[in-house]
Amino acid sequence: MNETTPISPPADAAGTPSADEKLWALFAHLSILVGGAITGGWAFSIGCFVGPLIIWIIKKDTMPFVNDQAKEALNFAITLSIIGFALLMITIMSLGIGVILTVPMLLFVGLGALILVIIAAVKANEGVAYRYPLTIRLVN
């Protein structure tokens, strides 16, 4: 007899995520901000996507909603890192003159990211699957 014990409470018949799944999905989105705060937000460094990556790796097999939302947060964090790296390269290649354009663009992207992460966290807490706009979806 093969007996399995679920790690978290299963979703109800309508397919809505459990409270545990909502909480972990919320953490996946907010971990982008935590990673940015820990690294000082330096050009959306690697710290931004470590949190969603860890949550996705740990919960992907046991919580379908967290699997989806952690992948979405991870893809968004990777996109932010690519944008930050591109702006840094523009600044370096222009011998620093590009700072006139790249710093305002970085501030604009940072503010937009903050707003989108907060929206995603609220939606995840409501049990709604959120999709970030203009995100490169590398992790499927």
Task: Quick: pLDDT tens for 56-112.
Answer: 999 999 999 999 999 999 999 999 989 988 998 999 999 989 999 999 998 999 899
- Residue 57 located in a structural domain: yes
The mean per-residue pLDDT over the stretch 9-25 comes to 77
What are the b/e assignments for 11-36, b being 16+ CB within 10 Å?
beeeeebbebbbebbbbbbbbbbebb
* 2 in a structural domain: no
State the residue range of the domain holding 60. 29-126
Residue 37 has a pLDDT of: 81
Task: Please indicate, yes or no, if residue 74 is contained in any of the structural domains.
Answer: yes
Read off the tokens for 11. Answer: 């979703």
pLDDT number for residue 130: 97
pLDDT given for residue 41 in this prediction: 66
Residue 14 within any structural domain of the chain: no
Q: Is the pTM of this model over 0.95?
A: no
At residue 137 the predicted structure's pLDDT band, cuts being 50, 70 and 90, is very high
Does the structure show a pLDDT above 70 at 10? no
Domain count, the chain: 1
In a domain, 100, yes or no: yes
Q: In 4-117, at which residue ranges do the beta strands (DSSP E only) sit?
A: none
**Residue 45 confidence (pLDDT):** 64
122 is a domain residue:
yes
Q: What is the pLDDT of residues 19-55, one digit of tens each?
A: 999 999 999 999 999 888 887 766 456 678 889 999 9
In this predicted structure, the answer to whether residue 12 has a pLDDT above a threshold of 70 is no
Give the pLDDT score at 3: 52
Domain-located, residue 71: yes
Looking at the domain assignment, is residue 105 inside a domain? yes
CA distance 75 to 67: 12
Q: Which position has the higher pLDDT, 80 or 6?
A: 80
What's the residue count for the chain?
140
What does the pLDDT read at residue 84?
A: 87
